[in-house]
């Protein structure tokens, strides 16, 4: 992390931006093409994850344009079917494969998303939040330690005492107390519970009625990807910083750049990392790219795992899908329904708390709305 003049901490994703990150779209994509060409020449044994989404469509078109221009060897494309995919996406994968004359091989996880969520739990709000809450549930750490830490005069001493009281639970303690690994308060980073406003108070008043976990993504996608990608020198993915969440956090390979060497010695290329939504729209219009029916007909803004409860628009998106694929919508509700309902309760709680703050109501006071 880095500190700017304002005193606020900023991730290297923001401070170590390459010059092309701030170019206008036409120049930015020319710079990206040059990067792709250079890396494909250096590492021709490459595999690219293709999801059937809009980012993947831009990325595949860009890669194939570069590959044909420089007469480079074929790139192997892979599509990971979690077991809860729209027909529109699966059909689009076939159409793109035929259009560009490329092979997009489909892979399935050893445990599909239904089995994975039943075994480990379901996501809530974000991957970071889900991971933190999973730790709270599995390690049975009381939420009250956050109050102990907040009320302590010497927070470092209190933190060290909590670490001794709950051995092997440092990350969960950091998550609940809003501090770093030294016990220093860091309430404004993504890795703490109140990065989602009022979340700690909400869960205290409304205990979680289901098991929370983000393991379904690891089981259904990451493990499958590692198995498939192990024989390739370079892995290409369509991550974009603009998507936020974990994708805006520096990776374990200690860099925010779009080309890195990972811990296992493989090379990873993220061509779209500094591409914005506006850049994507320019590219789509300039090259006349058609996204899948999920976008063009159903009206979705993004796809990813169908119905994933991490998405704040999951329920609304499912209603857009319902007229075309009602069985899939029913399946998504069966998998993620408890998280959808709990998030709705959380949204209502946030609105209520904000209303009280705007009215200047003190804790313990009742208003007309309370009745």
Characterize 327-362 residue by residue with b for buried, 16 or more Cβ atoms within 10 angstroms of its Cβ, and e for exposed. ebbebbbebbbbbbebbeebeebeeeeeebeeeeee
- Tens digit of pLDDT for each residue in 153-173? 999 999 999 999 999 999 999
- Reported as a pLDDT band with limits 50, 70 and 90, residue 247 is very low
pLDDT above 60: residue 252 = no
pLDDT above 60: residue 104 = yes
Calculate mean pLDDT across residues 13-39. 89
Contact 10, 4 (CB under 8 A): yes
pLDDT above 90: residue 258 = no
- Reported as a pLDDT band with limits 50, 70 and 90, residue 248 is very low
Helices (H), the chain: 12-15, 25-42, 54-69, 87-100, 113-120, 127-139, 145-151, 155-165, 170-177, 199-205, 215-217, 223-229, 277-287, 293-296, 314-321, 326-359
Characterize 260-271 residue by residue with b for buried, 16 or more Cβ atoms within 10 angstroms of its Cβ, and e for exposed. beeeeebbbbbb
Calculate mean pLDDT across residues 56-63. 97
- Tens digit of pLDDT for each residue in 132-146? 999 999 999 999 999
The region of weakest confidence among 27-41, 240-254, 255-269 is: 240-254
What's the Cα-to-Cα distance from 28 to each of 196, 260, 273, rounded to whole Å? Answer: 33, 19, 11
pLDDT above 70: residue 13 = no
pLDDT above 60: residue 254 = no
HEC per residue, 210-262: CCECCHHHHHHHHHHHHHHHCCCCEEECCCCHHHCHHHHCCCCCCCCCCEEEC
Calculate mean pLDDT across residues 321-335. 96
Calculate mean pLDDT across residues 112-134. 94
What percent of the chain has pLDDT above 90? 72
The region of weakest confidence among 2-6, 76-80, 173-177, 300-304 is: 2-6
Cα(262)–Cα(270) distance, integer angstroms: 12
- Tens digit of pLDDT for each residue in 172-222? 999 999 999 899 998 778 889 998 999 999 999 999 999 999 999 899 888
> What pLDDT does residue 144 have?
95
The region of weakest confidence among 3-12, 53-62, 88-97, 307-316 is: 3-12
Contact 282, 27 (CB under 8 A): no
Cα(59)–Cα(238) distance, integer angstroms: 7
Cα(280)–Cα(283) distance, integer angstroms: 5
User: What residues contact 238, with CB distance under 8 A and at least 6 apart?
Assistant: 49, 51, 53, 55, 56, 58, 59, 270, 271, 272
Residue 7 DSSP class: S
Look at residues 228, 280, 221 and name the one whose alpha carbon lies nearest to residue 59. 280
Averaged pLDDT score across all residues of the chain: 88
β-strands 76-80, 104-107 pairing = parallel
pLDDT above 80: residue 77 = yes
Q: Provide the greatest CA pair distance for the chain.
A: 72
Residue 54 DSSP class: H
**Both tokens assigned to 70:** 């420089």
Contact 137, 165 (CB under 8 A): no
> What pLDDT does residue 295 have?
97
- Reported as a pLDDT band with limits 50, 70 and 90, residue 304 is confident
Cα(89)–Cα(336) distance, integer angstroms: 20
Domains parsed from the chain with CATH numbers? 2-117+215-297 (3.40.50.620), 127-205 (no CATH)
Contact 339, 123 (CB under 8 A): yes
- The edge-to-edge listing of strands for the beta sheet with 259-261 is 104-107, 76-80, 46-49, 234-236, 267-269, 259-261
- Tens digit of pLDDT for each residue in 337-369? 999 999 999 999 999 998 888 887 666 555 544
In sequence order, what DSSP letters do the residues of 164-201 get, joined into one string? Answer: HHSTT-HHHHHHHHTB-TTS-B-TTSTTSGGGSTTHHH
- Reported as a pLDDT band with limits 50, 70 and 90, residue 14 is low
> What pLDDT does residue 257 have?
63
> What pLDDT does residue 286 have?
97
- Tens digit of pLDDT for each residue in 289-299? 999 999 999 99
pLDDT above 50: residue 5 = no
User: What residues contact 329, with CB distance under 8 A and at least 6 apart?
Assistant: 307, 318, 319, 321, 322
């Amino acid at each position: 992390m880095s500190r700017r003049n304002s005193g606020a901490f900023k991730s290297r994703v923001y401070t170590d931006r390459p010059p092309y990150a701030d170019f206008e779209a036409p120049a930015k994509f020319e710079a990206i093409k040059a990067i792709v060409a250079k890396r494909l020449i250096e590492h021709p044994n490459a595999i690219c994850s293709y999801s059937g989404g809009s980012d993947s469509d831009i990325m595949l078109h860009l890669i194939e344009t570069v590959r044909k221009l420089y007469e480079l060897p074929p790139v192997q494309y892979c599509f990971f079917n979690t077991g809860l995919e729209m027909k529109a996406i699966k059909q689009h994968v076939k159409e793109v494969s035929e259009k560009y004359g490329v092979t997009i091989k489909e892979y399935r996880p050893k445990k599909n998303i239904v089995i994975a969520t039943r075994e480990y739990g379901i996501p809530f709000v974000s991957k970071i939040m889900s991971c933190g809450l999973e730790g709270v549930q599995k390690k049975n750490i009381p939420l009250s330690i956050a109050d102990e830490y907040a009320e302590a005069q010497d927070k470092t001493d209190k933190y060290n005492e909590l670490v001794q009281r709950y051995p092997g639970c440092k990350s969960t303690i950091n998550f609940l107390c809003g501090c770093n690994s030294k016990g220093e308060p860091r309430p404004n980073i993504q890795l703490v519970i109140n990065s989602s406003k009022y979340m700690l108070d909400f869960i205290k008043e409304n205990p979680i009625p289901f098991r929370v976990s983000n393991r379904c993504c690891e089981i259904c996608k990451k493990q499958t990807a590692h198995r498939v990608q192990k024989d390739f020198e370079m892995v290409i993915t369509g991550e974009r910083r603009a998507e936020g969440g974990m994708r805006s956090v520096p990776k374990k390979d200690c860099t925010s750049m779009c080309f890195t060497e990972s811990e296992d010695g493989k090379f990873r290329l993220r061509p779209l990392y500094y591409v914005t939504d506006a850049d994507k729209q320019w590219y789509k219009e300039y090259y006349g790219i058609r996204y899948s029916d999920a976008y063009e007909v159903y009206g979705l803004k993004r796809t990813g795992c169908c119905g994933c409860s991490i998405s704040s628009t999951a329920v609304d998106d499912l209603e857009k899908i319902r007229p075309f694929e009602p069985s899939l919508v029913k399946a998504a509700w069966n998998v993620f329904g408890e998280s959808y309902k709990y998030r709705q309760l959380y949204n209502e709680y946030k609105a209520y708390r904000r209303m009280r703050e705007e009215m200047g109501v003190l804790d313990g006071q009742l208003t007309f709305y309370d009745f």
